[in-house]
Amino acid sequence: MAITLADVQVNTADDIDYNLIDETRRSSFLLDRLIFDDTVTPGTAGGTLTAGYTRLEERRAADTRRENTEYPAREAKKKRYTVDLVPMGARYNIDRVYANMGDALTNEVIFQQSEARAATVAKFSDLFINGVAADFTEEVPEFDGLDAIVTGGPTESTNAGTPWDYSSITTQALAGEAELALRAWIRTFMRRPDVLFVNDQTVALLERIAFYRGATAAVTNDFGAEIPTFAGIPYVDLGEKDGSADPIIGTTGGVTSIYGAVLGLDGVHGYAMSNGQVMKNWLPDFTTAGAVKPGEVELGPVAIAAKRTRAAGAFRVKVA
């Protein structure tokens, strides 16, 4: 079965959870568009939530043949993967003295709940790109993100020695060369990616290409916001990591990346529990004794999968 946050939002009976999911969809293109396979159940005795899937590593070729001969034996290559679902979220404490001070926009509960939601979304976005399953510990569980999935694969373009910083693109001809290189990378995917994930440096690069090529365009999402596109594909700045000013898509040694993803159950998708609950919050309960009460926001347990090697890719960009 497949669900999205839009499906979860429609089915929730709690207005507070409805508003939480609505804010998340408006603020996160990734979580709004990502499809979750909600079929995972705990193992026996409350064991780890683990999903198994098969990734197509290499497609097979077809042949012609002469009469009275057999086709050559060629097999598509696939590999079995497992991924552990993990919950993520944020907790806060509020003294009941401050619970109802201020109007709806400045109320401390609303403020802390909104910040907890934003931090949780940022954490998921960070793991979606930078998660490494090999770093999994009981204290810090992770799953493989796009960078781990695509590194060394057929959709990773390294562009060794090419000056890709936006300041180097100063003519229409240079912009054309950059555009052709990006389009060639896009053609390595199983089909046209549904989204490109970028940082502020690569936003500047794509805007510079569009300026010189005279090809600015955008799409409008379900909430009326315009999302810029490259080659008809929306590109989205994932912003900063939770609790930090560091960008989710970082720069190392002067090189950063543009990530692409084909979203869908046959490409890149999420895994969620079979109860259909993807995101939930708990408000402080000031009806019982105790001066300081906690509130929480939680996403998951969730993880991501790439059903095909060519469902995701990375374009390494030299920006300094």
pLDDT tens-place string over residues 225-283: 899 999 999 999 999 999 999 999 999 988 899 999 999 999 999 999 988 789 999 99
Residue type for 40, please? V
pLDDT above 60: residue 46? no
- Which residues touch 19 (CB under 8 Å, ≥6 apart)? none
Query: In Å, what is the CA distance from 37 to each residue of 45, 116, 129, 262, 267?
Result: 23, 25, 19, 15, 12
State the chain's mean pLDDT as an integer.
87
| More confident call, 35 vs 61 | 35
Residue type for 57, please? E
- What tens digit of pLDDT does each residue of 128-171 get? 999 998 876 667 788 999 999 999 999 999 876 566 777 788 88
pLDDT above 60: residue 13? yes
Give me the pLDDT at residue 163, please: 64
Cβ atoms 50, 133 nearer than 8 A: no
Percent of the chain with pLDDT over 70: 90
Cβ atoms 267, 308 nearer than 8 A: yes
Q: Is 10 exposed, middle or buried (0-12, 13-18, 19+ CB in 10 A)?
A: exposed
Residue 71 DSSP symbol: P
Nearest to 259 by CA among 151, 180, 178: 151
Q: Provide the residue ranges of all domains of the chain, joining segments of one domain with +.
A: 2-43+51-56+79-318
| Distance (Å, whole) CA 123 – CA 297 | 12
Residues 56-77, mean pLDDT to the nearest whole number? 71
Q: pLDDT class for 12, splitting at 50, 70, 90?
A: confident
Give me the pLDDT at residue 230, please: 93
Residues 111-124, mean pLDDT to the nearest whole number? 93
- Helix locations, 13-58, DSSP H: 15-27, 29-33
Residues 87-94, mean pLDDT to the nearest whole number? 93
Give me the pLDDT at residue 68, please: 73
Nearest to 281 by CA among 269, 295, 270: 295
- Which residues touch 289 (CB under 8 Å, ≥6 apart)? none
